[in-house]
Amino acid sequence: MDPDPHIKEEEEELWISQEAEQLTVKKENEEKPQLSEVRVIKIDDHRKIEPPIKPDRNPGPSHVKLHMMTHTANREHNCDICSKGFREKSSLQTHMRRHTGERPFACDHCGKRFHAKKFLTTHMKVHSGEKPFPCDVCGARFRVKESLKNHMWIHTTEKPFVCNICSKGFSQKESLKSHLRVHTGEKPFICSLCSKGFSRQQSLKSHMHVHTREKPFVCSVCSKGFSQKESLKTHMRVHTGEKPFICSICSQGFSLKESLKTHMRVHTGEKPFTCDVCSKGFSLKESLKSHMRVHTGEKPFTCTVCSKGFSHSGGLKTHMAVHTAQFSCSECGKCFVKEIQMERHMRLHSEERPYGCDICKNRFKHKCHLESHMKLHSGEKPSVYSVSCQAFSQDVLQKCINVTEGCK
């Protein structure tokens, strides 16, 4: 949320409200009841004064004429672009900056510019931390009176403005108007740089930070900057460890609502992301993206030592241990992260075949090869290399296995 609140810019409203106030005072002075209008009655020897008799509230011709001045007051200075009228020439000059984009008033702290001095004055409270308008109910403080006025709706349950589509209630008419765009899809606020549309003006304002790279919201712990206040609020959970979003099934906590939503697919089995090539489903969009490399052959993760490529970051991470591995083959120099991996590899250099078939007595160097071989006897569909033991010598069969299956 942008720190600068929305402030009415029509300077002429000030003199209208002042004149209206003077008219009210004048009217009240005229309507004060005379002493003769106060009736005194006697009950049980006590004098009681009744409220004054209410005078006729229908305004006379002179009152109507004075009131109409607030609507038809002489505004001889008119905008050539939008025809808006102003009583003072200075007000028109300030207004014209809206059309020209001129912003002559700059903040000495952050360089942000404004087309009216009063907006700069209000903005300065962001840096000073001044919040002169307190809420009498909860004690929250605000920089501008308008923000306090909007805040007060929190303390009332009254929501007279109801959406005729989903029946959601709102305390302000403007909030309902903004909400309706959810149903209509209307996005009237367009970015002048990239033409992206937004349903709320505040969303457009926040989006502009993408282009200006302005990050006014700074973390007090690690000094990381954010373009939006909500992003900073979410980031703070990294430091606090707060996980306010709890799974109703397994009670696992998450710092982001979106993370909880994604996690729920573990329980529901939902896999909304489907591969266009093989129709395999995935619960995460990122998982589908990673899977697509199986079909494209893309290997974006490259080893900085030997330049070997990998389709997944996990594969590269595992591979990097090879360069710092403690176990190496004494025959060929190949390195291994675990000792058991080296022991399996050593069988390639020796005649050791610890895994034997109980039916045909053939022996294998690796357990996975024995398991594949057993399918010949069980009648299961053989793999590429599961051929008759009599068809090939053991050495030829082993070479076929090594080529097609690889050592596990």
Q: Output DSSP code: residue 192.
A: T
Phi and psi at residue 233, to the nearest 5°: -60, -40
Q: Return the structure tokens found at 346.
A: 């050593």
pLDDT score of 56: 47
Domains of the chain: 1-8+86-156 (3.30.160.60), 158-240 (3.30.160.60), 275-323 (3.30.160.60), 325-404 (3.30.160.60)
Phi and psi at residue 71, to the nearest 5°: -100, -35
pLDDT score of 30: 41
Give the C-alpha separation, 207 to 197, whole Å: 10
Task: Give residue 190's identity as a one-letter amino acid code.
Answer: I
List all residues 6 or more positions away from 380 whose beta carbon is below 8 Å from its beta carbon: none
Neighbours of 101 (CB within 10 A): 8
Q: What is the total residue count of the chain? A: 408
Q: Are 125 and 118 in contact (CB under 8 A)?
A: no
> Helices marked H in 213-273 — which ranges?
229-240, 257-268
Q: Output DSSP code: residue 133.
A: E
Task: Give residue 292's identity as a one-letter amino acid code.
Answer: M
This prediction's pTM: 0.36
**Integer angstrom CA distances of residue 74 from 68, 78, 79, 142, 206:** 11, 11, 14, 36, 39
Task: Decide the pairing of beta strands 245-246 and 225-226.
Answer: unpaired
Q: Output DSSP code: residue 248.
A: T
**Which of 201, 149, 207, 195 has the alpha carbon at shortest distance from 177?**
201
List all residues 6 or more positions away from 136 whose beta carbon is below 8 Å from its beta carbon: none
pLDDT score of 24: 35
pLDDT score of 4: 45
Q: What is the separation of C-alpha 400 from the centre of its chain, rounded to a whole number of angstroms?
A: 54
Q: What is the separation of C-alpha 65 from the centre of its chain, rounded to a whole number of angstroms?
A: 53
Neighbours of 35 (CB within 10 A): 6
pLDDT score of 66: 52
Q: Return the structure tokens found at 251.
A: 């009670």
Phi and psi at residue 315, to the nearest 5°: -65, -40
How many degrees, rounded to 5, is the angle at CA 16 between CA 11 and CA 21? 130
Please report, in tens digits, the pLDDT of each residue of the chain (408 residues total).
444 444 333 333 333 333 333 333 333 344 433 433 333 333 344 434 344 343 444 445 555 555 555 555 567 888 888 888 888 888 888 888 888 888 898 888 888 888 888 888 888 877 887 888 888 888 888 888 888 887 887 787 778 889 999 988 887 788 888 899 889 989 999 999 899 999 888 888 888 888 888 888 899 999 898 888 888 989 999 899 999 999 999 999 998 888 898 899 889 989 999 999 999 999 888 889 989 998 999 999 999 888 889 988 888 888 887 777 778 887 787 877 778 888 878 777 777 788 888 888 788 877 888 888 888 888 776 544 444 343 344 444 444 444 444 433
Residue for token pair 């939503």: 261
Give the C-alpha separation, 361 to 389, whole Å: 10
pLDDT score of 250: 93
